[in-house]
Amino acid sequence: MNKEEIQKKLFNLFDEQVPDQFAQILSKSQKEERNYDMEKNKKNQGWWWKLSIAFTFLLMFSGFFYVYQGNHAVDSIIEIDVNPSIQLEVNKHEKVVKWSALNEDAEEILKDMDLKNVDIDVALNAIIGSMVTKGYLDDLSNSILISVDNDDPKKAEELRQELAQKINQILNTDKIEGSILSQTLSETSNKEKKSEIDALAQKYHISTGKAKLILEVVANNPLLTVEDLVDLSINEINILTQGKESSLSSIEKQGNASTKAYIGEEKAKEIAFNHAGVKNPQYVEIEFDTENGIILYEIEFYENNNEYEYEINALTGDIITNKKEEEKTNTPSNNSDSLISTEKAKEIALNHAGIKNPQNLKVELDREDQEYSVEFTYNGYEYEYEINAVTGKIIKSEKELDESASRNSNTNFISSDKAKEIALNHAGIKNPQNLKVELDRDDQEYSVEFLYNGYEYEYEINATTGKIIKSEKERDD
Amino acid sequence: MKQSQGLNFHASFLETLLSNIKDEESFHELYIHLKAPIYAYSLSLLKNKEDALDNVQDVFITLYREIDSYQPNQKPMNWIFTITRNAALTKLRKKRITVELEGNENSIPFSKKEDQLVFQFFMEQLKEEERNIILLHLLWGFKHREIATLLNSNLSTVLSKYHRAIKKLKEMEEEHE
């Protein structure tokens, strides 16, 4: 099979598996486009409207216009998420122009509040005070997310620092040790990411800030999904990232999420060990996880070659799932400490090959398969080993003539004319049609194909020795 | 002859189709040519037929929607590749562990036994990276050097893996002949 045949075969193989979904794709694409256009129109209308107002003002009170701009134009957008999610739009002087509730809990907080033209400090004080009174912020749940958006990233960053500090002060006066997550949203440079964030916020009716936080958490923890997180409070999300903050690069964090509402790791372990009837658990790992909106402890441990896995409701201590598995490979997995070193892998391979000074040595660890691959050349041969990274056992060993070495010395190959001659002589033919001679360097073979008198001839010829490896003659249909 | 094989066609041809994507016929043509490579690579990453088919749909919808962000004279296949990979990785992230569980249940019916064997070999015997290199070279038309860049590897690794994989493929073929 030559390259072209493989290519065709693969193409057809995969092509066959895809039913014609074009009609569906087309209609979805067109529908999406219509929606998009509609939204764009809406936005455009808004823009025209604003412009015409501005124009009127400009014409009527040209001097006054700047004052208007300063007092009413939105300069920064600030989002506060606890579980209530609130959005504040403030002007240049950091006075509130507009305030809105992004979820039901927020409506309760903002009810009867008039924040118009109120200083942002005062507004924050009122909002957070209300959250404390209504029980959204306390010792058991102390996390708050603040997100600042301003066209000027520098200004956004300044405001972020200022607000994070202020919130901390406010919480302190209420004797709450808060955990404050803060971020800026002025990442206009990354358009794709921004639209992903906006789409998520729209889909789940959450704030842009929370959407950004969720995407970042999910990106850094493949075991969590967006759906897992959208309904959680900021404290709950915060708990899930505990100890992994370094990975949340664009989010600043002060203080730790409160876990006081939960039974605690020790209690959770006790419940699991008792249930499993295990006395000497080893390699115990415990972590917060979430499922169906519930925060749970995920506990893994081993005893006597058995692997145990428990999920325990972190609030109630109920066992949600428990699994016991006989361990197949050696304990424990996914832990690089238990893998043999690169040096050791190299040593195993070299010992097996009986070689001391290999050339072009390359050792690679495949973490997924927990295998080392060790490759080297020696004395014109290419060696290839696959070694179990846990046990050190050789899974595969291969030794073959180094192709690259022989490839460089392909002056030893017979010429393509010579190959053609050999084939034609063998066939006893002088004037073939559609003659094609190809050198396959991998196999070190010439393939010679031609037509003659209604027959198709195919030869494979050893490129070094000129020996005919295969000859075929068949009717050309 | 109608170019029914999505292989080996010229970048400028693809570019023309892309620039006319809002025209139904061009969009359809694009679909016919690209559904196999996009599906193959999606399947290689997602290891599940339904997800891979979903991904094919998503990729075409994205191409249609995002065409304005494509700058002509950029390499069209690179752009499509990026969209395909990102879409698949997003799905993968959402699916998390289930991928491993479903990994070996690729019971896709084939009319010919031989096709079944090649397919199984492809999905199960080849390592993911070998498989991707083969796909990107043979179905997507990327050069080895380009593949090295796309997969964040280097040329000599890509070359040696490519040749090793092709060799395995051929050996498998011969065994069953």
Q: Which tens digits make up the pLDDT trace of A449-472?
A: 888 888 888 888 888 888 888 888
Whether residue A475 is predicted with pLDDT greater than 80 in this model: the reply is no
Alpha carbons A445 and A258: distance in angstroms, whole number: 70
The per-residue pLDDT for A41 is 57
Contact A58, A69 (CB under 8 A): no
Chain B residues with CB under 8 Å of A219 CB are 93
- E-state strands within A185-260: 252-254
Query: Does residue B21 sit in the same domain as residue B96?
Result: yes
Whether residue A50 is predicted with pLDDT greater than 70 in this model: the reply is no
Query: Does residue B43 sit in the same domain as residue B129?
Result: no
Query: Does residue B70 sit in the same domain as residue B134?
Result: no
Of A315, A309, A325, nearest in space to A267 by CA: A315
Query: Does residue B59 sit in the same domain as residue B136?
Result: no
CATH code of the domain covering residue B90: 1.10.1740.10
B154 close contact with A: CB closer than 8 A: no
First to last CA, chain A: 19
Residue B108: closest C-alpha in chain A: A17
Say whether B93 and A3 touch across the interface (CB within 8 A).
no
- State yes or no: ipTM above 0.90: no
Contact A95, A117 (CB under 8 A): yes
Residue A196: closest C-alpha in chain B: B90
Domain count, chain B: 2
How sure is the predictor about A63, in pLDDT bands with cuts at 50, 70 and 90?
Answer: very low
B142 close contact with A: CB closer than 8 A: no
Alpha carbons B100 and B18: distance in angstroms, whole number: 36
Q: Which CATH architecture has domain A265-326?
A: Roll (3.10)
Tokens of B174: 């011969």
Q: What CATH number matches the domain at A410-475, 1.10.760.10, 3.10.450.40, 3.40.50.10540, 3.40.50.1100?
A: 3.10.450.40
Query: Does residue B79 sit in the same domain as residue B23?
Result: yes
Mean pLDDT in consecutive groups of 10 residues from the start of chain B, 177 residues:
46 83 90 93 90 94 88 81 90 64 55 80 88 92 89 88 89 77
Alpha carbons B134 and B165: distance in angstroms, whole number: 7
In whole angstroms, what separates CA A334 from the centre of its chain? 19
For A33, counting Cβ atoms within 10 Å of its Cβ (0-12 exposed, 13-18 middle, 19+ buried), the class is: middle
Domain with CATH 3.10.450.40 in chain A: 265-326, 336-406, 410-475
Boundary-marking domain end, from B58, B77, B107:
B107
Contact A301, A284 (CB under 8 A): yes
The per-residue pLDDT for A408 is 46
A vs B: CB pairs below 8 A: 101
Whether residue A188 is predicted with pLDDT greater than 70 in this model: the reply is no
Chain B residues with CB under 8 Å of A371 CB are none
User: Which residue among B61, B115, B118 places its CB closest to the CB of A29?
Assistant: B61
Q: A244 or A111, which is more confident?
A: A111
Task: Report the gap between the CA of A238 and the closest CA in chain B (Å).
Answer: 20
Chain A residues with CB under 8 Å of B119 CB are 13
Tokens of A178: 């808060």
Enclosing H/E stretch for A264: none
Say whether B7 and A7 touch across the interface (CB within 8 A).
yes
Task: Report the gap between the CA of A464 and the closest CA in chain B (Å).
Answer: 19
Contact A171, A137 (CB under 8 A): yes
Range of the domain at B151: 110-177
Contact A427, A452 (CB under 8 A): yes
How sure is the predictor about A477, in pLDDT bands with cuts at 50, 70 and 90?
Answer: low
The per-residue pLDDT for B99 is 46
Chain B residues with CB under 8 Å of A32 CB are 61, 64-65
Entry pTM: 0.43
